[in-house]
Structure 1
Amino acid sequence: MATTGRASLLAGGALTVGTGLTAPSATAAPAASEHGKHGHGSGPRTVRFNIISDIQGDLADFGKALDDLHRINPHSAGLGVAGDITPRGYDFEYAEVRRTLDRHRHPRNVAWAIGNHEFYVPKYSDPDTLAQDTWPNGTTEDSLFRSFYNFAGRNTVYAETSFGGIPVLTLGTERYAHYHDAKLWDEVWISDAQFAWLEDRLAHWARRRRPVMVITHHPLPNTVSGTRNKLYLGDYLQPDRLLSILGRHKDVFLFSGHTHWDLNLSDWVVRRVVPGTGNLDGFTVVNTAAVQTGWTDDGKGGEVAVGGTFNQGLQVEVGPRTVVIKARDFSTGTWLKQLTVPLHTAA
């Protein structure tokens, strides 16, 4: 969600075609059983897991999402959370998320990505007093990262885990930009070390002919819903470098949040082709929507809140030949749509 405000609302399920985008061989998937064993469906080696984002203090809807996910996928191989775990990044807010998680059944393996809301403590002189004129109000940049690391159980914003044998990489900013440039706020900065790590891990799994799931909070420009909108074109300070790495790999699936844009939009999933990478098929990019508050196109280059209850996320089903991506409405307990993407790594 843009901090300054909240683009065409279409109810389709096809991939968007546009500048730098192409529709792959993607068809509506046949209905699948909602229950599997140990993250596996009836087909061989199908691994099911779930991805959500943008909890931002809406712990009631977070709990509802966890309950619905357990009902439809009780043996989920993992849960990815694409940032904005908390509303501001206070330690007590992380603790509230952990308590909510512990009160609801959930996968043992949770992959957390850092979001811009994890850096909003400096806007407050205390938890009850907004004081942006005196930013950072004594809060250090290092303390914000330490809070995330303590919660996520690691010491970097980027990490690799496995959901039932499927490699899952999380990415994130390594600076909060306003500490380094007064003209910047939430823009993502990635170090040479993180870029090198990402390049190495994608190459590693490409040699082994494995699809890779990549989770990041901020969306890349000209990808999923909202990212051709002026509000979301400048989220990365080095977008071309990141795109050039991801764009080489046909079986990379990038999941991004931040916009809160509705999964009912037609460009909820796209294929992004990056010129110069030699990969004319592109890679798959998926919008993760949000647990807290939905947004959509206002028809004027901005965005407008989606009326009524909003609580959406994804189920991902990785088989030997295809990946099925399913959009879920947790508030109604219904599927919104699904899409099947053939794997180029399939034998």
Structure 2
Amino acid sequence: MIAMSSRQGKDGGTRSFCFRFRVITDTHVRADEQHTHNVNLERALQDIAANGTGSVGIMHAGDVTDHGFPDEYEAWNRNWHRFGGAVPPLYVTMGNHDVALENWEARLGQFLRGTGAEGIYHDHWIDGYHFIFLGTEEGLELFSSLSEKQLAWLDDKLGENAAADRPVFVFLHQPLLNTVAGSYEAQRWYGVVQDADLRAVLARHPQAILFTGHTHWELDASHTSYGVEGEGR
């Protein structure tokens, strides 16, 4: 992701600059180092190490692992640590595959220990930009469930030092209904229990940009946006 911004300098002129970060999702790491998912992650990190100069972070939108098992997090960390300082810092949110199996408390604990995440939901200011990570508070099979407390926290954080010309980047594993490929009701792959409540919070903060994962739909699917007017489908 490259965010373009323009600001007025002290001399009255306009300064334009790029702000770079990387977004990955649904890595579904397994315990087997040779599994396709693990190999794909390694290739992605190789690409970021080679081409991600200047990026302030790698933002992961959930489903770090395939089952949330301890040995999968061990494989994840071995893969990650191979690259050391060659890749930007990691920031994560959880997906249903990380925590949806039985025993919510145990799965949540494994996720937090395995990824180093600061909590179910957390935020970070990075080079003057706000990054907010949301997370389910129930171990549901497909959906995420956000408490009133988390939604109120999000509302407050979106207003923190807000500016109309400065985007805030929000990450949640499951997409809102009828937004991206795979999230349409007939496709049955949307996933926020409090969909209307989350929309209401985001609507109060038009500078918010929401990143999601979960759907696994191909880039040539209907309702894929390419960021160019007239070329999305």
Where on the TM-score scale, by shorter chain, does this alignment land: which range? 0.7 to 0.9
CA contact (8 A) 1:80 1:112 kept: yes
Is the counterpart of residue 212 in structure 1 residue 156 in structure 2? no
Which secondary structure state, in structure 2, belongs to the residue aligned with residue 46 of structure 1?
strand
In 2, Cα distance between equivalents of 1:225 and 1:67: 28
Which secondary structure state, in structure 1, belongs to the residue aligned with residue 59 of structure 2?
strand
Match of 2:76 among 73, 94, 97: 97
CA contact (8 A) 2:99 2:111 kept: no
Partner in structure 2 of residue 56 of structure 1: 28
In 1, Cα distance between equivalents of 2:17 and 2:133: 23
Which secondary structure state, in structure 1, belongs to the residue aligned with residue 16 of structure 2?
coil
Deviation at 1:68, TM superposition (A): 1.2
Pick which of 79-88 and 260-269 moved more.
Answer: 260-269
Partner in structure 1 of residue 19 of structure 2: 47
In 1, Cα distance between equivalents of 2:125 and 2:72: 27
Is the counterpart of residue 106 in structure 1 residue 106 in structure 2? no
Which secondary structure state, in structure 1, belongs to the residue aligned with residue 192 of structure 2?
coil
Partner in structure 2 of residue 239 of structure 1: 195
Deviation at 1:229, TM superposition (A): 4.3
Change (3 A) 1:63 1:161: same
Which secondary structure state, in structure 1, belongs to the residue aligned with residue 60 of structure 2?
strand
Q: TM-score, normalised by structure 1?
A: 0.55
Is the counterpart of residue 142 in structure 1 residue 122 in structure 2? no
Which one has a larger percent strand, Structure 1 or Structure 2?
Answer: 1
In 1, Cα distance between equivalents of 2:221 and 2:129: 28
Could you give the per-residue CA deviations for residues 117-165 of structure 1, whole angstroms, max 9, x where no partner exists?
A: 1125x4xxxxxxxxxxxxx4xxx22111111111232452111123433
Change (3 A) 1:197 1:49: same
Could you give the per-residue CA deviations for residues 31-73 of structure 1, whole angstroms, max 9, x where no partner exists?
A: x9xxxxxxxxxx7332111101000121111111111122222
Match of 2:146 among 169, 172, 190: 190
Runs of 4+ residues deviating >4 angstroms: 337-340
Task: List alignment gaps of at least 5 residues for structure 1.
Answer: 1-28, 33-42, 123-135, 178-184, 270-336, 341-347
In 2, Cα distance between equivalents of 1:112 and 1:150: 12
Q: Which amino acid aligns with 1:88?
A: H
Match of 2:131 among 145, 150, 168: 168
In 2, Cα distance between equivalents of 1:100 and 1:226: 29
Pick which of 194-203 and 233-242 moved more.
Answer: 233-242
In 1, Cα distance between equivalents of 2:125 and 2:99: 27
In 1, Cα distance between equivalents of 2:181 and 2:153: 28
Partner in structure 2 of residue 324 of structure 1: none
Q: Which amino acid aligns with 1:114?
A: M
In 2, Cα distance between equivalents of 1:87 and 1:44: 41
Which secondary structure state, in structure 2, belongs to the residue aligned with residue 227 of structure 1?
coil
Larger radius of gyration: 1
In 2, Cα distance between equivalents of 1:265 and 1:50: 22
Partner in structure 1 of residue 96 of structure 2: 116
Which secondary structure state, in structure 1, belongs to the residue aligned with residue 170 of structure 2?
strand
Which one has a larger percent helix, Structure 1 or Structure 2?
Answer: 2
Partner in structure 1 of residue 61 of structure 2: 82
Deviation at 1:233, TM superposition (A): 5.7
Deviation at 1:209, TM superposition (A): 4.9
Deviation at 1:213, TM superposition (A): 0.4
Residue correspondences, number: 208
Could you give the per-residue CA deviations for residues 310-342 of structure 1, whole angstroms, max 9, x where no partner exists?
A: xxxxxxxxxxxxxxxxxxxxxxxxxxx5559xx
Deviation at 1:234, TM superposition (A): 5.1
Deviation at 1:192, TM superposition (A): 1.7
Taking only the aligned residue pairs, the percentage that are identical comes to 30
Deviation at 1:265, TM superposition (A): 4.0
Task: List alignment gaps of at least 5 residues for structure 2.
Answer: 5-14, 30-36
Q: Which amino acid aligns with 1:117?
A: H
CA contact (8 A) 1:49 1:163 kept: no
In 2, Cα distance between equivalents of 1:141 and 1:233: 22
